[in-house]
Amino acid sequence: MINKKIILGVTGSIAAYKACELIRLLKKHGADVQVIMTKSAKEFISPLTLQGLSGKPVLEDMWEPSKGNGMEHINQSKKSDLILIAPASANFIAKLAQGLADDLLSNVCLARNCPILIAPSMNKNMWENPATKRNISLIIEDGGKFSGPENGEQACGDEGMGRLVNEKILLLDIKKSLSPPLFKNKNILITCGATFEKIDDARAITNLSSGKMGFSLADEAYSMGANVTLIYGRTETLPPGNIKCIYAPNHEMMNKLVKQHAKDNNIFISSAAISDYIPKTISGKLKKHKDKLILELKRSSDIILETASEFKNLFCVGFSAESEKIIENAKIKLKKKKLDMIVANSINESMGKDSAEVHIIFKGKVVHIPKKNKNKLASDILMNIHKLEAKRNNIHEYID
């Protein structure tokens, strides 16, 4: 979002106060924010508050000939990368659907030559009203995009759909609106997190994977226009809220779900730390009657190898977390597991961390990506996947 010019339209909704935090987050991500308020919005929050947060005078009146050339609705539209309406009331959504332009914000929307993203906020009965549904359908047909709403408790005490979408999802949809749709019409299957294998009814073995890399890949792929399916195991945080997520606690479920969904996808990214060995499960609870306990483990199946072998048209990407000979071992895995690409990293420097350094390896080539935040790292990895997948059978050069 760095240096992107975003018009934030604030309309007459009780959620107007949330625009304060939204402005702060947009500016934190490098966006240039210009707030335009409707008359009704000023009943809920002061323009001075939003001016202080955005660092710019709030625009609200289109009838001010003393300012500029009197064409503020055209001027603002021409110099913006995105119009974001958050919160968007039922009344303003109706205006957008019908092409009405009776104030500055509705004029800017009608005169736009940039994407528009709408984050509704209203009572559940207003959201479920057939008129609102028709209006939303018309806006979508005209190319408008929506983020939310979500289900929950409302200011009036009702419970249901209509709450303004949470900041994390909204920020991701904003990023999607501003990003080139590199993976448009592409289906990407991603696995992440750690599998959890039972020893007895009280104990299990797992690993230290946090799932952060997989979540970052899912977020970034979504923002690049992909239809993402995320199969996740044990993770430190909750999965993304706006992406299709399926929980797979152990190797058996992970294997079943990957095979089930692989046929419907173009790209498979296996970042999950899947158990290589599975304990023989004992019914009940093992008793502490000896100084030593010996567990019997059996080798688990290789999910990514089987998937790459069975689904020939699937572009398969693996991860190789190593403690030594990182590139050498990753090259062996790339060939052995019949992958199109593998991402190699140091297990001590990346597992559970917020940042990492990786080497992307494909067809004998090695691309080094210096240590960076996993969100930015995920973007770099996906850019390489995009380029490689596009010329899968004719790779001649390094990818910067």
Q: Tell me the catalytic residues.
A: 156
**Is cis: bond before 279, omega within 30 of 0?**
no
| Per-residue b or e along 81-103, where b marks 16 or more CB atoms closer than 10 Å to that residue's CB | bbbbbbbbbbebbbbbbeeebeb
Q: How remote is the C-alpha of 305 from its chain's centroid?
A: 27
CA nearest 271: which of 182, 357, 378, 176? 378
Q: How many Cα atoms within 13 Å fall on the side-chain side of residue 122?
A: 20
Length, in residues, of the chain: 400
Q: How many Cα atoms within 13 Å fall on the side-chain side of residue 25?
A: 15
Q: 60 φ, ψ to 5°?
A: -150, -25
Residue 112 tokens read as: 């736009």
In the chain, the amino acid numbered 133 is K
| Per-residue b or e along 303-320, where b marks 16 or more CB atoms closer than 10 Å to that residue's CB | bbbbbbeebeebbbbbbb
